[in-house]
Structure 1
Amino acid sequence: MLPATTAEHATADPLAILQEVFGYDAFRGAQGEVIEHVCAGGDALVLMPTGGGKSLCYQVPAIARHRAGRGVAVVVSPLIALMHDQVGALEEAGVHAAFLNSSLDFQAVQRIEHEMTSGRLVLLYAAPERLTTPRMLAQLDSLHERGLLSLFAIDEAHCVSQWGHDFREDYLGLHVLHERYAGVPRIALTATADDHTRADIVQRLQLEDARVFVASFDRPNIRYRVVEKEDPRKQLLRFVAEKHEGEAGIVYCQTRKKVDETAAWLVGEGITALPYHAGHDASVRQKHQNRFLREDGVVMIATIAFGMGIDKPDVRFVAHLDLPKNIEGYYQETGRAGRDGEPAEAWMAYGLADVVNQRRMIDESPAADEFKRLQRGKLDALLALAESHDCRRVRLLDYFGEEGRPCAPYQNACDNCLNPPATWDATEAARKALSCIYRFGHHSQGPRSFGAGHLIDVLRGKATEKVAQHGHERLSTFGVGADLSEQQWRGVLRQLVALGHVVSEGEYNTLALTESARAVLKGGVQLLLRVPSETPKRSKRTGRVTSTGGKAAKGAPADLDAAAQARFEALRAWRSEVAREHNLPSYIVFSNAALAEMARRAPGTLGELGEISGVGEKKLEAYGPEILRVLGAG
């Protein structure tokens, strides 16, 4: 056993550790309760939103149990970049931590294994596939026999569930932790899990006796916004240029090709953008990720291969150019914005093709019927969120079983609460569209099914070559919808597909009626739709969107006066130098919030500097004199 304390004055009290090591005065939300439970040796399943402080829920107990002589805590983590940054942050705070992954050579692995088996290491990060190797299990056996295995933390625990949005087969072997190391507390953590996924986590990790902690899923600093697709690239450019110029953001696309093309196009428009997907070499992905984490104002264009475990706190927006598969994925991805608690935006462009593509992917999947049924239900919930004309935050929270209130009073209210959309009764229009699809199938001349574009042309009475070719100008439905715009008709069709009354079939996305369309045709279903928003005006000279707002702040709070702003910029420049020297992202040295508070208060002594949130004892000792010098007080 290790001695009860590792230093003369070290304490195992969790709150004292929080203040001493991390520089925070108090726990947030459920953190204190979770930490107390795990410190006492209990198992826990923790559902806490991204940015809610999940890491502290196992890092503080790991430090406390190590100081009490319990040895090393093992953290299961799926990503090399996340391990590197979390270990770097812990070492910066004076906590001995390390990781084992494929980026290390054999000598480095041996050195870390020696630190682990000696019990000197406080936290060890390892990928799930390494944790279950015979070599690693033998080392854990030895630690367990000597009472030097303090706890297991299973991060991104939703990866164990086949119902979840990011299943990883390597996580399935983690049941061995319960079977092999009885009595060692386990804490599983995730930001997103619906009831099915939660039950799967409990069953597969054998956490039936664990205490479940569910924090609020509300992220009041995030504004949710969904726009109808017109020209999505230009819509994205307008959003970035007008609202988030020079700020860090993530843009998600469904395909690798679209990622590369979008990144190249944005670069051509003057945006610092980088592509990221699994088709790139590992060295390219690592280079781009490092730039995103370490530089200011980089926009990452990515598939969902990017993002899990990204701790960058100052991501000011997450945009989706394609519809995600479900609300869990959407919530997880949008949650990467505004981890620092400052205002951020979740923006999504959404159109008829998104609905068609997602439904087809489910229908053509080789998965079992039960899995497909569940995935359709998840997609339906996301479609309802996208099509809603009431509070998006309420709908989002309701999906996770949490009662919410309309976000109009929030600083960052969703688009529907900020500008309540007008609606129109599209019931009769829906009946006309369904009737036209029906008549396609019973028209004797040519094919019996057609796509959305041709359907809209017929409804609006457009005498196109294709209409004439198939004789559709003779249909009774030809021109019955001339009073509606193409955009309005696309909204009607999108809703009909979203509700399952119409399906898209085959290589050419032709439309067909389902059994439920009968009730709509008979007038038994009401369809209430949003009135399409107006397209923003464009400059006649360049075709570019004319900006209507000022530039957003780039990290510093707006309430800093000129002198404080100058101090903030000086501190940020100093932080960048330190981060480069230590090969770490700047936010690991100090957060923007900590720098802003230093700039605002301008402490003149080490004692005053130590009172600022985020300044722990080790950082005060290591950087205090330099910070005072930068502030002009040293």
Structure 2
Amino acid sequence: MTVSIPYSTTQFASLEQALKHYFGYDSFRPGQRQIIEYTLHDRDLLVIMPTGGGKSLCFQLPALLKEGVMIVVSPLIALMQDQVQALQNNGIPATLLNSSIGFGESQSRQAAILDRKIKLVYVAPERLLSESFLGFMDQVKARVGISAFAIDEAHCVSEWGHDFRPEYRQLQRLRQRYQNDDRVIPILALTATATERVRHDILGQLELQDPHVHVASFNRPNLYYEVRPKGSQKQAYVELFQQVQQTQGAGIIYCLSRKRVDEVTARLQQDGISALPYHAGLSDAVRRENQDKFIRDDARVMVATVAFGMGINKPDVRFVIHYDLPRNIEGYYQESGRAGRDGEPSRCTLFYGAGDIKTVEFLIAQKVDPASGEPLEEEQRIATQQLRRVINYAEATECRRTIQLGYFGEDFPGNCGTCDNCCHPKPIEDWTLEAQKFLSCVARFAQRDQRFGLNHTIDVLRGSKNDRVLKNGHDKLSTYGIGKDRSAEQWRLLGRSLIHQRLLDETSDGYSMLQLNDLSWDILRKQRSVMVAIDPVKPGDVLAPSKVDAAEVEALYDRLQKLRKHLADEQSVPPYVVFPNSSLRSMATAQPQTLAQFAKISGVGSRKLAQYSEPFITEIRAFRTERGLPLQTETGTVPQATPSTAPPTRASETQLQTLALYQEGLEPADIAERRNFRLGTIMSHLAELLELGYPIDLDDLVPLDRQDKIMHAINTVGPDALGSIREHLGEMYGYDEIRLVRSRWRRETA
């Protein structure tokens, strides 16, 4: 579609008049006018403007007022089509060039560009940087002129962004190719979400020169944010269905996998909801058709993976539900921000269940180099840190907006009135003294030019005797053991709260190290108090230091379960034959350390006392030793345990340290953080331990159906070459899970 329009600002008395002429708006939104003025003066720009803030107009209007053609780089065909169609509907000459159009049509559109009939050209980065297209660009520059390059969704440039795309890294070639002319063609980088680190990465990667940086407020006051506990799939679906049923208007439901998308869509359709699926497993035609139906209100609900929504201009989405855990805060902010772009009240719900964490960790483990098949360890580390922040957000008791906006470097006082934590606030307590203890511990690390994460700081405060504390000499610090009066979970709650309130910093390099800031020192100088929202005590929770720590009970219970499984496997009996779960729960709570105490556990008769008391008491005592808890003997209490028994000779010391943390119930990603190792190293430890016969529960690490397929592949191509096994399986399988299953195969066939 081509329309003749003036190319000069001279016909308009003001920018407002041009805005009204082309787009029908009477006034600009905050920040738009200044950005447009800089664009008209050929300045490089970085524009961070939330979804619904009107960032597209910041390059579309200047494109109509400047000489030449504006080249818009966009990552998705659907995004291009949506924006081009909207422009054409406004009578604005825009076109796109991508793989969805044939050769003849592409030639026709290129001819229209050279004939000055087009003002905005949308193109994917891969096509833009091809030699043939760069040659065409040279023709455009010579005959028509290029007014600017607009890099939409610019966060894709950064590996620290939530949707990193390697091809975006190559866009710096635009500056290198066009910077030696009399007029340097300006570059406009635009995105809805970017942390400070991502912003710096964008500026450097695109080589922006003296850019104007505009960062709008990330606050969307019309959105209500809530996190709901995710129980069983059946229960979660009932809650989801009720919300869809009770909410008027259109909605988006995000799921992690294609399979979950199809399952939820089918159930909603069976329950009378007009819902459609959207994921990469569908053909381009079906995805486009479903998207069009949703935009035209022919379908009320879109159930989708995160592939859906970028740049989709549907202003009246009334709810966005994350049925599964999002991978990072930036992605969640942008996806949930597709609700209420018209400014009307809308609801954003996140279902949070611990089971989803393993799913995301599995997806992270699949980040491998396509050429070598080796893990991309830095990307895995970054993704693991991003996941940890999502978990912190989901479990937080503070204002959701304070956490979200703080993540992007924006201060917010809390009490927003439109999130679950503000509308249903938890009790507030003064934890200034505890905060001083916590921050003092971080300060002691800094005095030694050391930095550590949340878990290690808690270990020092609670007087742990684990290997990392002792090796670093942190048992000699003045803050060692000063926090024994609080549970590990309470300290974790405080640490998260300090970070969320920006009273403490956390590095964004993938390692999540703690750093003091100016507000931290205000607390240490007794110039600022710290208030923390506390979850009400639930039945069975015990928070007093003299009683059992609920988090420790769970950690010991998991270890006892693994011990029971190991003993049951040795005897070829089901685990419940050794002890039922109720007996293990009693052991984890009472923590018996003598024969007399063990005999009092429900389910322990004389035979089981003789048969099982030694391994279970040994496990319980080992657990208490590692936690720095006092031990008891038949004659009395020993103040502090001493490590006993040398490690088995078949496993290395470092492997046994990983085993100890695994038996505490830590996930591999948490073990990697605790030990400051790469995730791939920890997975290798677990695989080697499994092969050596140590109690590693493969079912806990690799789903059964995937184990079966990997076993079949090993039997088909042999166990020696991991690359051959993966090639047989396909790219959906990762090296870590293959290595683990191969370890079981080797153990069973030895």
TM-score of the two chains, using structure 1 as the length reference: 0.69
1:258–1:394 Cα change, 3 Å: same
**How far apart are the structure 2 equivalents of 1:506 and 1:120?**
65
Once residues 40 and 291 of structure 1 are traced to their aligned partners in structure 2, the CA distance between those partners, rounded to angstroms, is 41
* Counterpart-to-counterpart distance in 2, 1:450 and 1:383: 32
**Are residues 107 and 472 of structure 1, via their aligned partners in 2, closer, same or farther at CA, if it must alter by over 3 Å?**
farther
2:140 corresponds in structure 1 to 143
Distance 1:270 1:374 in 2: 41
Task: Tell me by how many angstroms 1:274 deviates.
Answer: 0.8
User: 2:50 aligns to what?
Assistant: 49
Which residue matches 1:458? Answer: 584
Matches within 5 A, 1:541-580: none
Distance 1:49-1:174 versus aligned 2 partners, 3 A rule: same
The match for 2:313 among 301, 311, 314 is: 311
Counterpart residue type for residue 392 of structure 1: R
The 3 A distance-change label for structure 1 pair 120 and 382 is: same
When residues 362 and 124 of structure 1 are mapped into structure 2, their CA distance, relative to the original with a 3 A threshold, is closer
5 Å-filtered alignment, 1:314-353, equals 314-353=316-355
Match of 1:376 among 384, 392, 398: 384
Q: 2:91 aligns with which of 90, 94, 101?
A: 94
Once the two structures are superposed, the pairs formed by residues 22-61 of structure 1 within 5 Å of their partners are 22-61=23-62
**Cα RMSD after superposing both structures:** 3.6
Name the structure 2 match of 1:119: 116
- Correspondence for 1:256 among 255, 258, 265: 258
Supply the distance in 1 between the matched residues of 2:5 and 2:365 (Cα, whole angstroms). 59
1:423 has 2:420 as partner: no
Q: Max radius of gyration: which structure?
A: 2
| Cα deviation, residue 407, structure 1 | 4.0
Residue 414 of structure 1: which of 419, 429, 435 is its match?
A: 419
- CA separation of 1:20/1:237 partners in 2, compared to 1, >3 Å: closer, same or farther? same
CA distance in 1, matches of 2:8, 2:404: 47
- In the alignment, is the contact (CA less than 8 A) between 2:44 and 2:209 conserved in 1? no
* SS at 2:405 equivalent: helix
**CA drift at 1:460:** 6.4
Could you tell me how far apart the structure 2 residues matched to 1:331 and 1:87 are?
25
2: distance between equivalents of 1:114 and 1:450?
A: 74
User: Which one of the candidate residues 376, 387, 394 is aligned to 2:402?
Assistant: 394
Relative to structure 1, the CA distance from residue 89 to residue 436 in structure 2 (aligned partners, 3 Å threshold; closer, same or farther) is: closer
What SS does the aligned partner of 1:102 have?
A: coil
1:356 and 2:358 equivalent?
yes
Superposition deviation, residue 41 in structure 1: 0.2
| Aligned partner of 1:130 among 104, 127, 132 | 127
TM superposition shift of 1:429: 0.9
Alignment of 1:11-30 (within 5 A): 11=12, 13-30=14-31
Counterpart of 2:630?
A: none
Query: CA separation of 1:120/1:473 partners in 2, compared to 1, >3 Å: closer, same or farther?
Result: farther
1:393 counterpart letter in structure 2: R
Letter in 1 for 2:422: C
Counterparts of 1:435 and 1:7 in 2: how far apart (Å)?
73
Distance 1:498 1:348 in 2: 23
CA distance in 2, matches of 1:109, 1:225: 46
- Aligned counterparts of 1:134 and 1:97: Cα–Cα separation in 2: 23
Per-residue CA deviation, residues 194-237 of structure 1 (Å, 9 max, x unaligned), is: 23332332222222532221111111111111100122111110
Q: For residue 557 of structure 2, what is the amino acid of its counterpart?
A: C
1:372 and 1:457 map into 2 onto residues whose CA distance is 39
Residue identity opposite 2:245 in structure 1: A
Query: What is residue 234 of structure 1 aligned with on the other side?
Result: 238
Equivalent pair of 1:159/1:166 in contact (CA under 8 Å): yes
Instruction: Answer whether contact 1:458 1:472 (CA < 8 A) is retained.
Output: no
One-letter amino acid of the counterpart of residue 700, structure 2: N
Distance 1:494 1:62, change over 3 A: farther
Task: Pick closer, same or farther for the CA change 1:435–1:217 going to 2, 3 Å.
Answer: same
Q: 1:36 to 1:434 in 2, by over 3 A?
A: same
Specify whether residues 472 and 343 from structure 1 end up closer, same or farther in structure 2 by C-alpha distance, changes over 3 A only: farther
2:170 matched to 1:170?
A: no
Higher relative CO (Cα under 8 Å, sequence separation at least 6) belongs to 1
2:72 aligned with 1:75: yes
Please give the alpha-carbon distance, in whole angstroms, between the structure 2 residues aligned to 1:223 and 1:495: 32
Structure 1 residues 15 and 442: alpha-carbon distance in aligned structure 2, compared to 1, 3 A threshold:
same
Give the CA deviation at 1:259: 0.8
Structure 2: distance between partners of 1:420 and 1:206: 46
Tell me, what secondary structure is at the counterpart of 1:420?
coil
Q: What CA distance in whole angstroms lies between the structure 1 residues aligned with 2:94 and 2:46?
A: 23
1:278: which partner in 2?
280
Aligned equivalents of 1:127, 1:455: Cα separation in 2: 56
Closer/same/farther in 2, CA of residues 75 and 508 from structure 1, 3 Å limit: same
Cα gap change, 1:191/1:472 in structure 2, threshold over 3 Å: closer, same or farther? Answer: farther
Residues 148, 340 of structure 1: CA spacing in aligned structure 2 closer, same or farther, 3 A cutoff?
same
CA 1:164–1:497: 2 relative to 1, 3 Å: closer
1:222/1:346 contact within 8 Å kept: yes
Q: Is the CA contact (8 Å cut-off) linking 1:50 and 1:339 kept in structure 2?
A: yes
Change (3 A) 1:59 1:364: closer
Corresponding residue number in structure 1 for 2:699: 508
Secondary structure at 1:317's aligned position in 2? strand
Distance across 1 between alignment mates of 2:290 and 2:245:
22
| Offset from partner CA, 1:165-195 (integer Å, 9 cap, x none) | 2222332332221112221111011112223
- Structure 2 CA distance for partners of 1:110 and 1:395, relative to 1, 3 Å: same
Q: Does 1:211 align with 2:215?
A: no
Aligned counterparts of 2:5 and 2:265: Cα–Cα separation in 1:
54
**Could you say if the C-alpha distance between residues 360 and 155 of structure 1 is closer, same or farther in structure 2, counting changes exceeding 3 Å?**
same
Equivalent in the alignment of 1:287 = 289
User: Is the contact made by 1:45 and 1:187 (CA closer than 8 Å) also made in structure 2?
Assistant: yes
Q: Deviations over 1:122-157 (max 9, x none)?
A: 111112222122332122212323462111111111
List runs of 5+ in structure 2 lacking aligned partners. 369-374, 427-534, 544-548, 588-600, 621-663, 676-681, 687-695, 703-750
Residue from 413, 432, 436 that aligns with 1:405: 413
Residue 536 of structure 2 aligns with an amino acid whose one-letter code is: T
**1:527 corresponding residue in structure 2:** none
The answer to whether the 8 Å contact 1:315/1:339 transfers is yes
Q: 1:300 to 1:426 in 2, by over 3 A?
A: farther
- Which residue, 568, 572, 581 being the options, matches 1:446? 568
Task: Report how far residue 104 of structure 1 moved.
Answer: 2.2
Q: 1:144 to 1:264 in 2, by over 3 A?
A: same
Aligned length: 482
> Do structure 1's residue 180 and structure 2's residue 186 form an aligned pair?
no
* Contact map agreement 1:249 1:297 (CA 8 A) in 2: no
Secondary structure at the counterpart of residue 306 of structure 2: coil
Tell me the secondary structure at the aligned position of residue 121 of structure 2.
Answer: strand
Letter in 2 for 1:115: A
Q: Deviations over 1:280-324 (max 9, x none)?
A: 122211111111111255211111121211111111111111111
Q: Could you report, residue by residue, the CA deviation over 1:483-512 in whole angstroms, capped at 9, with x for unpaired residues?
A: xxxxxxxxx99999989789997542279x
**Equivalents in 2 of 1:75, 1:229: separation in Å?**
41
Quote the Cα distance in structure 2 between the aligned partners of 1:234 and 1:473.
Answer: 46
Q: Helix, strand or coil for the counterpart of 1:359?
A: helix
The structure with the largest helix share of the pair is 2
Give the Cα separation in 2 of the matches to 1:119 and 1:311: 28
CA contact (8 A) 2:159 2:379 kept: no
Counterpart AA for 1:268? Q
Q: Which residue number in structure 2 is paired with residue 514 of structure 1?
A: none
